[in-house]
Structure 1
Amino acid sequence: MPWEKTSSVKNAKNKSGKPVVEASLLPLIRDYAAHTANPSLIGSDFLNNYPDFLDDLWVFDRGFVLLATGLPRWFPLPTLTRAHLARRRMLDKMDIFHRAMKKHANGEDVGTDWSSLDDVGSLVKARMEVYRKHDMSIRARSSFELSLLWAGNANSDTLIFWMVNRIYADKALLEMIREEIAPYVTVVQPPSDLPIAEPPRLDRFDLDGLCNDCPLLKSAYIECLRLDAAPWSFKVIKEDLVLQGRQKGSERWLLRKGEYAHIAHDLHSTDPKFFDDPTVWRADRHIKYDDDEKRRVADMGSIRPYGGGSSMCKGRTFAFKQSIMFTAAIVSMWDIEPAGGGPWKMPRHRKSTGVYNTNDDTRVWVKRRELSKPQ
């Protein structure tokens, strides 16, 4: 599998002498989520034809902030140069995809490499109608599709990595979350008469239940958005206004029409006025009781990781469900510990476009959980 290659897997044995697989956690989680989720958008043919597309996407994302400055390719920054080249390669591949989609829509033969275009997601198909209506060029279509795939992967896939890190670092929390999600996720080991066991499978997976009735898991997700992400918002001031804090006598700020406001959300997320011990990650921080004091719920509170107003991220619900879904599946199916044993060392943050990335290589041991067999 592609994620096995990028995470440099190898067979090993843990301290108990049991066989495990050693892997780098970030590419393992990130690429697994991306290769699993993206066919629902772009169809199965695209990644089958271009399995290295996601490698370029991560290179592009790493240099995205530099690209946003408008610096040219020849500027002497290797990260910027690599991002320019990765963007060109991805757009070229997108061009081929869109030419095939155009032929497919016209009933023309697209060849064996694009024989499954019917499974392209409904969102992308709907966008094709807009492209045709406005007679947009192939390169323009490719640019829009690249922006969609970047937005759909750059933050949520890496956030799953941080959720897995945080949850597995605390064995007590791991068991509490497994207990909480157990009514909604059932993993079984199919019986087999062969010497090699069948892969485990999800016998039941209730995504609505996970999203609505698992407050500890949801609170862990929100806490990762608070500490493992540092998004920015930019606003244009349309009318003169004065901003003032809620506290009596707090400083006043005059924002004039035509000016820009830059909101660094991590400043609020680590403000001790709003969060006690703000630099400490606490899974249950965002859990509270609803109005009748009988049901525990988790909500965002005052943090706004997806921005606000009309520019609020349109993919926030998809990102939430994806993060909850993959984290619950991984927690249910796998035991993960640091390679070599010992305590879990949390990777250091590296600034990115939203969710933090890392330069640290987190090597882990992974093995299947002991699973029940289906009745």
Structure 2
Amino acid sequence: MLGDLIDVLPRWATDVLLVGCAIVGWRVWMFTVKPWLRPDEPRDLPYWIPFLGHTVSFFQNYVQLVEDGFNFTGRKREPFSIQLLGKKLYICSDPRDVSIIFDNIIAFGFDEHLTNLLTSFGISKPALKRAWHVPKPGDWCYITDNPVNPKQKSLIHAVEDICTQQLLPGDRMDVWADAFLGSVKSSLGGTGDLDFCTTDGDGCMWGRRQASLYKLVSFFSVQATCQAMFGSHLFDIDDHVVEHMLEFNEHVWMKVFQCPSFWGAQPVKAPHAKLMAITRRFVNLPEERRMGASWAITNVLRGMEIVGMDMESRAAMVLMIFWAAVSNEHNSCFWVLAHLFHDESLLDLVKKETEAAWRVNPDDASGEPQLDIKYLCANSPNLNSIFNEVLRLNNTAAAVRVATEKTTLSGGKTIPQGGMLVIPFRQLHTNEAVWGDDVGRFNPERFIGPGAGGGANTKDRSSSFRPFGGGATYCPGRTLAKHEVFGFTAILLRRFDISLARGAAKVKQRMPQLNSMTPSFGLNGPIQGQDVIVDIADRL
């Protein structure tokens, strides 16, 4: 019968019919027969076009694609896989599996993913070879009692150690935090000529205006990080470096995923080129002319010089470190402030906590109160709970690992050697079994009330709360991030009378929605076009 039908159909219709039959047969095999024959393998989320797989859906709305996968598996938190241009990714969100993946640094490595990330930022293959080389006596890069790399690790792992030493609590972190907060205080202490205002096109004079909270927080936060990392050097090279970084960060996923031009990767090219020009000029400065740069940046550059990386690759690595340092804090700070201005009761509680941290140093002749950031971070339960709830709800990033050997996870599903595992934090943080049926609602009391059975609240240490990752890549800057967000909040609230703006009809603004569609590497900001507009006036 099918043969008779083919005989009477035109050639094009016959070809379409045969292709359709082939696709249906392939789909039945892939998503019905194969899972039945191989029950120990994570199931594939079905798709219709081989090789392309879920690529379009991933770039259109990554979070929704993962949600579709959870629904496909009955929301049982079992691993499943998606396909991106022929590459299979295993999605894991069961807290037990996450702990296994983070804890077993031998079976689940990060180096391959890190290599891909470095390549996407423009580091050459010869430079990567030098950067991964472990120095041995007699090597061109071996230095006895090397002060930059005392453990004689590869440059990449030495850079990780350097950044960890800069960011973990201690004198070096304090220097960074002081520089960051000093920049914020100085910037917000006078007048500005930047277009944060919504009332006219004359710029933003700190008088009584309405301002975009997202633009205000983003600009001054990134500016402060740039100051803490590089001193004034990048500003001296290009005084629009902050704007370039904000534009780059908005589109950076296109570079990390190496999107081809036909996919619409053009928006990232211009800011990337400008930032590369800036970092290129910076790394070409003699060390004595880089005074004022952070301890970490100075030693990273020394390490790159020792192994002989080319200048273009040095600039690319510095840019990647710069981007990593600024990619999350401004969004964290925006969401904290956005929730405060939408809830006056929370705002009043946080104002009391932040005001208590402004103290007069008896040794300071000026008699002006100074912010005691360590006191603030240790004695602000309400601000801390809001911060944790922001991290829980707005982290759309994912941790990535590569299986170095065939491994079985807690539910009996097997990951093959070479399999790439993805841990989506948002789905981990919205596990109904851990957080309750209202997982999508902002409720900071989750982190401040009594825990299970009336005991101490330990939600911030739950295996289902991983805002800073885990295992070998547990973010060393987590304490610094809190200092920066808490400090920015305290300075802003002390410097200005600031409140949610209302229109002529006194209609209260709606809380902006999280942009969950764009692939993220941390906290995302609001959907484009949504913001918090505030009335802002001088207090001093």
Choose which of 267, 277, 280 in structure 1 pairs with 2:427: 267
Q: Compute the RMSD of aligned alpha carbons.
A: 2.8
Q: How far is 1:143 from its partner?
A: 0.9
Q: How far is 1:3 from its partner?
A: 7.0
Q: How far is 1:63 from its partner?
A: 1.8
Which SS does the other structure have where 2:414 is aligned? strand
Q: How far is 1:288 from its partner?
A: 5.0
Is 1:253 the counterpart of 2:413? The answer is: yes
Given the two structures, how large is their TM-score scaled by the length of structure 2?
0.56
Query: CA 1:325/1:300 → structure 2, altered by over 3 Å: closer, same or farther?
Result: farther
Which SS does the other structure have where 2:434 is aligned? coil
Q: How far is 1:185 from its partner?
A: 2.4
The answer (yes or no) to whether the contact 2:197–2:209 under 8 Å persists in 1 is no
Alignment of 1:1-375 (within 5 A): 4-8=193-197, 10=199, 20-72=208-260, 74-75=261-262, 77=264, 80-100=265-285, 102=286, 104-105=287-288, 117-185=290-358, 203-244=369-410, 252-276=412-436, 277-288=438-449, 299-301=460-462, 302-334=464-496, 335-340=498-503, 341-350=506-515, 351=518, 352-358=520-526, 359=528, 360-369=530-539
Partners of 1:11 and 1:339 in 2: CA distance:
16
Partners of 1:254 and 1:330 in 2: CA distance:
50
Please say which of residues 345-354 and 215-224 is displaced more in the overlay.
345-354
Structure 2 gaps, min length 5 = 1-186, 202-206, 361-366
Q: Deviations over 1:136-160 (max 9, x none)?
A: 2221221111111111111111111
Partners of 2:336 and 2:426 in 1: CA distance:
18
Please say which of residues 43-52 and 137-146 is displaced more in the overlay.
43-52
Structure holding more strand per residue: 1
Q: Deviations over 1:262-294 (max 9, x none)?
A: 11111121222111211111122212569xx99
The answer (yes or no) to whether the contact 1:177–1:217 under 8 Å persists in 2 is yes
Larger Rg: 2
Structure holding more helix per residue: 2
Q: Deviations over 1:88-141 (max 9, x none)?
A: 1110111111222x2x43xxxx6xxxxxx4222222112222122223222122
Please say which of residues 353-362 and 251-260 is displaced more in the overlay.
251-260
- The amino acid of 2:469's aligned partner reads G
Please say which of residues 38-47 and 160-169 is displaced more in the overlay.
38-47
Query: CA 1:307/1:174 → structure 2, altered by over 3 Å: closer, same or farther?
Result: same
Q: Could you tell me the percent identity over the aligned residues?
A: 20
Partners of 1:298 and 1:220 in 2: CA distance:
13
Q: How far is 1:347 from its partner?
A: 1.2
Q: How far is 1:220 from its partner?
A: 0.8
Partners of 1:69 and 1:228 in 2: CA distance:
21
Query: CA 1:204/1:36 → structure 2, altered by over 3 Å: closer, same or farther?
Result: same
Given the two structures, how large is their TM-score scaled by the length of structure 1?
0.79
Q: How far is 1:234 from its partner?
A: 1.1
Which SS does the other structure have where 1:285 is aligned? helix
The answer (yes or no) to whether the contact 1:236–1:258 under 8 Å persists in 2 is yes
Partners of 1:222 and 1:7 in 2: CA distance:
27
Query: CA 1:202/1:310 → structure 2, altered by over 3 Å: closer, same or farther?
Result: farther
Structure 1 gaps, min length 5 = 13-18, 111-116, 188-200, 245-250
The answer (yes or no) to whether the contact 1:286–1:300 under 8 Å persists in 2 is no
